[in-house]
């Protein structure tokens, strides 16, 4: 069967079951990693802009998974925050993975151990069936539909491509081809690691393939002797990349247990149970067993819970059995050992969260290979001897594929919106705090939330305080979020209490310092608010955001120190030239200091960034009036009337009067002028002669 037909078949198989995800919303870590990651928001395709995407790690910019980040940046360039293009890219990536898997399996059957055991038509059937079963399995949904997990999918694609390229070189007789494919293998390994760090075990997979599929040691030693320099260089390159990958990224996770609700020993005891749960999900993948989060009972010892020791023994027995079958059943041995080997990074000592389904995307690649081979063996066996069993097995395989495809489609339905995903997770993991917290966030930070939505959100946050959390500091986040809701409700004293509780848990919690300062401002507690702003600017983490400087300048501005405030607004804009709040505040400060032209520049920039914000329009009118330029003030007022409805203008005027949420604007200057202009415009309309009717 031609390659084009294989690709078409896989596309026709995969696309329908993922088609309903093309308009699915942004989820969970998508927002901080993509939507809020300004280094990925490129407007040009210049080398500098593309290079900067390689350093788009949250927090302090550093070299971080550059290839997926580059792809996110290109998605942003062409489609901004429309999730359609991101989902389409992920689906295409999944199809490519299945296609490369098909060809990699075919190459495995050309290795010395397998080349004389299977007919060519059997090989094609096995390769296609194993790739199809892997691709449509519902366990893959989290790696494909969850946009940010493109990192896992892209790492798997390059990892798999590295296996394919290595096999091509290993099975080649020409020295030039071997060198070329060897370099290609190194590149694929580097690209896989540059997508996600779990690809660091790739060299061990190569060794595993050598042991299982190239067993003639005399020939192997001869080839090693002939190509010792090439092999040494390849091994050194693989080792160097592996060491860099491990020590640059994963050591920080090993020492990161301080923020986890479990110890290293507890994680090591718990993960065998989780890995076996993954296996059960793969082979019994009904949607009710799949979720973005799961309730996990920590293993405190080998006997608590009682399934801990049996899980460890089961894995050891399965691995031991696989090793014993290397000679007799190489496909089974490779599939099992590949699965456990590629869970080593994310399912052992590194202080990651305990469970995520997308971690199976790479390890499960070859898991269906022995199953497909077994099915083909039975079909060949019963094709002539027992027609009933032949038909039964054929129908069973078709039903499995239809069932798994349907389950994948249904599972994707849960990912349509943030609310649907977290409602689904809350039903399936009622003891986990994350679904309740995220549902609360959906309600409280929804556009124009109602009082009832705020109350439900507060109840969900209150409930989540007593549930399991992936990190120990999440309680402070919950308290901070509850304080933010009370802040939005205008109950500042209650908000302050929650913010202070969060700070009692963590005195260095910057977000709570910022929110508490903002809330204190609303009660006129300027001195205390200023102290929190000073802490933010001089925080021990040396992490200074544009908003921190803007907050300090805002306090000085309200305390009638516009000149001192300017330096903080400049620092804020140096950090983030598109900080609309700092632009507005800078414009108001300049206006108060009599620098009307400079003020107008900053205020117009604020309008360009957020044309729906009415405050800079008011500030422009005030700025012109302070400068005595009534003609320009009238032009700004006309612009205001053209941009906003009268109701919004009236509400805006009422909002900034004695309102510490925005820059100090002179109501006694702006309101009379707008009213005067409104009266004049109304009079002109009434005085205008009526239009003649067209006969």
How many CB atoms are located within 10 Å of the residue 316 CB?
11
Question: DSSP assignment of 106-164, as one string?
Answer: HHHTTSTTTTTTS-HHHHHHHHHHHHHHHHH-GGGHHHHTSGGGHHHHHHHHHHHHHHH
Asked if 416 and 24 touch (Cβ cutoff 8 Å), the reply is yes
CA-based radius of gyration for the chain: 31
Q: Among the ranges 46-60, 368-382, 664-678, which has the highest mean pLDDT value?
A: 368-382
Q: If pLDDT is split at 50, 70 and 90, which confidence band does 301 have?
A: very high
What's the pLDDT score for residue 536? 95
Q: What percent of the chain has pLDDT over 70?
A: 92
Place of tokens 């996600």: 196
Q: If pLDDT is split at 50, 70 and 90, which confidence band does 520 have?
A: very high
Asked if 238 and 274 touch (Cβ cutoff 8 Å), the reply is no
CA distances from 592 to 153, 406, 637 (A): 55, 65, 20
Is the pLDDT reported for residue 227 higher than 90? Answer: no
Fold of 431-523: 1.25.40
What's the pLDDT score for residue 693? 55
Average pLDDT score over the chain: 90
- This prediction has a pTM of 0.84
Is the pLDDT reported for residue 498 higher than 60? Answer: yes
Residue 654, judged by CB atoms within 10 A of its CB (0-12, 13-18, 19+), counts as: exposed
Q: What is the arithmetic mean of pLDDT over 407-411?
A: 97
Q: Is 304 helix (H, G, I), strand (E, B) or coil?
A: strand
Is the pLDDT reported for residue 139 higher than 80? Answer: yes
What residues does each domain of the chain span?
Answer: 3-26+81-255+265-404, 431-523
Bond before 305 cis per omega within 30 degrees: yes
Q: If pLDDT is split at 50, 70 and 90, which confidence band does 676 have?
A: confident
Gap between the Cα atoms of 343 and 338, Å rounded: 9
How many CB atoms are located within 10 Å of the residue 626 CB?
16
Q: If pLDDT is split at 50, 70 and 90, which confidence band does 645 have?
A: confident
Residue 405, judged by CB atoms within 10 A of its CB (0-12, 13-18, 19+), counts as: buried
What's the pLDDT score for residue 178? 86
DSSP letter at 356 equals -
What's the pLDDT score for residue 673? 86
Q: What is the arithmetic mean of pLDDT over 2-19?
A: 94
Compare 634 and 150 and report the one with higher pLDDT.
Answer: 150
Q: What is the arithmetic mean of pLDDT over 330-334?
A: 96
Question: Diameter of the chain by CA atoms?
Answer: 106
Question: DSSP assignment of 598-618, as one string?
Answer: HHHHHHHHHHHH-TT-SHHHH
């Amino acid at each position: 069967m031609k390659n084009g037909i294989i690709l078409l078949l896989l596309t026709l198989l995969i696309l329908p079951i993922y088609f309903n995800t093309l308009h699915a919303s942004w989820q969970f870590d998508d927002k901080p990693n993509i939507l809020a990651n300004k280094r990925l928001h490129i407007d040009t395709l210049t080398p500098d802009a593309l290079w900067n995407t390689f350093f788009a790690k949250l927090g302090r910019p550093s070299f971080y998974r550059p290839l997926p980040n580059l792809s996110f940046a290109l998605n942003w360039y062409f489609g901004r925050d429309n999730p359609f293009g991101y989902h389409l890219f992920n689906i295409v990536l999944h199809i490519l993975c299945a296609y490369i898997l098909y060809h990699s399996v075919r190459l495995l059957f050309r290795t010395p151990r397998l080349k004389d055991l299977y007919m060519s038509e059997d090989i094609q059937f096995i390769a296609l069936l194993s790739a199809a079963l892997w691709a449509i399995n519902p366990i893959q949904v989290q790696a494909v539909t969850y946009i940010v997990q493109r990192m896992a999918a892209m790492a798997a694609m390059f990892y798999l491509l590295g296996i394919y390229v290595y096999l091509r070189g290993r099975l080649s007789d020409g020295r030039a081809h071997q060198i070329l494919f060897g370099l290609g293998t190194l590149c694929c390994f580097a690209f896989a690691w540059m997508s996600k760090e779990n690809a660091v075990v790739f060299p061990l997979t190569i060794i595993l393939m050598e042991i299982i599929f190239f067993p003639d040691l005399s020939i192997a030693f001869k080839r090693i002797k002939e190509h010792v320099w090439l092999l040494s260089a390849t091994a050194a390159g693989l080792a160097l990349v592996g060491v860099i990958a491990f020590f640059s990224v994963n050591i920080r996770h090993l020492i990161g247990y301080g923020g986890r609700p479990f110890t290293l020993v507890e994680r090591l005891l718990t993960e065998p149970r989780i890995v076996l749960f993954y296996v059960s999900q793969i082979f019994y993948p009904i949607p009710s067993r799949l979720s973005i989060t799961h309730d996990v009972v920590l293993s405190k010892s080998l006997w608590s819970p009682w399934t801990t020791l049996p899980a460890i023994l089961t894995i050891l027995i399965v691995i031991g059995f696989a090793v014993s079958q290397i000679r007799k059943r190489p496909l089974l041995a490779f599939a099992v050992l590949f699965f456990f080997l590629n869970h080593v990074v994310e399912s052992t000592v590194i202080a990651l969260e305990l469970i995520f389904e997308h971690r199976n995307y790479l390890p499960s690649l070859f898991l269906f290979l022995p199953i497909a081979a077994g099915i083909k063996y039975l079909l060949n066996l019963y094709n002539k001897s027992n027609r009933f069993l032949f038909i039964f097995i054929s129908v069973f395989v078709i039903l499995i594929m239809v069932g798994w495809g349907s389950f994948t489609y249904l599972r994707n339905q849960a990912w349509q919106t943030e609310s649907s995903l977290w409602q689904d997770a809350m039903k399936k993991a009622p003891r986990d705090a994350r679904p309740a917290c995220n549902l609360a966030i959906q309600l409280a930070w929804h556009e124009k939330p109602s009082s009832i939505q705020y109350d439900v959100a507060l109840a969900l946050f209150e409930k989540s305080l007593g549930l399991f959390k992936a990190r120990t500091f999440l309680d402070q986040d919950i308290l901070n979020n509850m304080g933010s809701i009370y802040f939005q409700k205008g109950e500042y004293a209650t908000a302050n209490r929650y913010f202070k509780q969060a700070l009692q848990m963590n005195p260095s919690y910057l977000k709570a310092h910022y929110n508490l300062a903002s809330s204190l401002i609303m009660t006129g507690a300027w001195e205390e608010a200023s102290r929190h702003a000073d802490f933010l600017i001089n925080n021990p983490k040396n992490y200074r955001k544009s908003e921190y400087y803007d907050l300090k300048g805002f306090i000085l501005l309200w305390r009638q120190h516009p000149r001192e405030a300017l330096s903080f607004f400049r620092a804020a804009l140096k950090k983030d030239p598109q900080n609309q709040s700092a632009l507005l505040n800078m414009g108001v400060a300049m206006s108060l200091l009599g620098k009307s032209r400079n003020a107008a520049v900053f205020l117009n920039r604020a309008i360009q960034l957020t044309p729906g914000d009415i405050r800079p329009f008011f500030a422009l009118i005030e700025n012109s009036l302070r400068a005595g330029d009534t003609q320009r003030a009238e032009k700004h007022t006309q612009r205001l009337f053209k941009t906003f409805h009268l109701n919004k203008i009236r509400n805006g005027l009422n909002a900034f009067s004695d309102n510490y949420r925005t820059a100090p604007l002179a109501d006694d200057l702006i309101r009379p002028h707008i009213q005067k202009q409104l009266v004049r415009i109304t009079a002109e309309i009434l005085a205008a002669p009526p239009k003649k009717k067209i006969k």
